[in-house]
């Protein structure tokens, strides 16, 4: 579904992403991992076009998208979350979700600000995520974990076919993390393709069908979790330190 070919993003002499290539198969959960500074989030930003790639190609369902504007990419079925929630804190949860609704041409601009259909759809998404109780809470009243769930709900409102999740469980308590994992797995079982950046290796190894490892802007390994965690390059670049900490 998604193919990244020789992607590069340079900031002066800094090669944040340096010729990275990888694929995300339709219906899969693919993890993008690596040490801090490996280029994971920059790759996400290039794919979603929140930054402009220096060079390379990005293909979605057989169509090049790296030169499209972000809203055009969203319209084609690719949506993402960010490490830090970008919710509108002076709006309620349900308003933050509804604002992500698709606009179907000029006619959509003349509909009521919140239509009955949009409200029903938003409430069904909040129910799926188990957060209907906070539907009318202001964004600034939410906990960090609740903001993560609200961001996921807003993303689903745009009816994506592939979602990019940037550290969806980062900074949340273990109980809520398991809830987020269960919801991601349920969405995938419903046919949604997922690309995820996450530092929690236990989560990644349990959740992902495929793992892509980046280091110094390059892809150094790609494959099933059990194979990746035994790869010598991966152990040297990243997982070795994590596994040593777990053993200790």
Sign of CA dihedral 107, 112, 114, 119: negative
In a domain, 127, yes or no: no
Residue identified by tokens 């970008």 is 86
Residue 245, pLDDT score: 47
- Where on the phi/psi map is residue 144: left (φ > 0), alpha (ψ -120 to 50), or beta? alpha
Residue 248, pLDDT score: 46
Considering its fold, how many domains does the chain have in total? 1
Residue 111, pLDDT score: 53
Residue identified by tokens 């076009």 is 49
Contact 94, 37 (CB under 8 A): no
Note down the domain range covering 185: 2-87+159-247
pLDDT by 10-residue block (mean), the chain, 248 residues: 97 94 97 91 94 96 94 92 71 88 50 74 93 90 87 91 90 85 93 92 90 94 91 75 47
Helices and strands in the chain: count of H runs, count of E runs: 11, 10
In a domain, 154, yes or no: no
Cβ neighbours of residue 35 closer than 8 Å, sequence gap 6 or more:
215, 237, 238
Contact 208, 196 (CB under 8 A): yes
Cα distance between residue 164 and residue 227, in whole Å? 23
What kind and span of H or E run contains 244? helix 240-247
In a domain, 147, yes or no: no
Residue 168, pLDDT score: 87
In a domain, 148, yes or no: no
Q: Domain holding 46: CATH number?
A: 3.40.50.300
């Amino acid at each position: 579904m998604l193919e990244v070919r020789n992607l590069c993003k340079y900031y002066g002499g800094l090669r944040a992403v340096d010729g990275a290539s990888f694929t995300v198969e339709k219906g899969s959960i693919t993890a993008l991992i690596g040490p801090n500074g490996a280029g994971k989030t920059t790759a996400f930003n290039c794919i979603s076009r929140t930054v402009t790639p220096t060079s390379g190609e990005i293909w979605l369902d057989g169509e090049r998208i790296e030169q499209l504007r972000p809203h055009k990419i969203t319209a084609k079925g690719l949506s993402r979350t960010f490490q830090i929630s970008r919710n509108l804190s002076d709006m309620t949860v349900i308003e933050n979700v509804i604002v992500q609704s698709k606009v179907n041409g000029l006619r959509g601009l003349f509909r009521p600000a919140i239509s009955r259909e949009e409200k029903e759809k938003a409430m069904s998404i909040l129910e799926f995520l188990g957060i209907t109780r906070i539907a009318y809470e202001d964004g600034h009243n939410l906990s960090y974990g609740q903001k993560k769930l609200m961001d996921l709900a807003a993303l689903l409102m745009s009816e994506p076919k592939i979602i990019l999740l940037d550290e969806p469980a980062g900074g949340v308590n273990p109980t809520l993390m398991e809830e987020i994992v269960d919801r991601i797995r349920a969405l995938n079982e419903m046919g949604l393709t997922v690309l995820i950046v996450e530092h929690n290796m236990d989560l990644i190894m349990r959740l992902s069908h495929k793992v892509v490892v980046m280091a110094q802007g390059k892809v150094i390994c790609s494959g099933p979790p059990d194979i990746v965690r035994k790869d010598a390059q991966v152990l040297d670049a990243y997982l070795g330190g994590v596994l040593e900490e777990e053993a200790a």
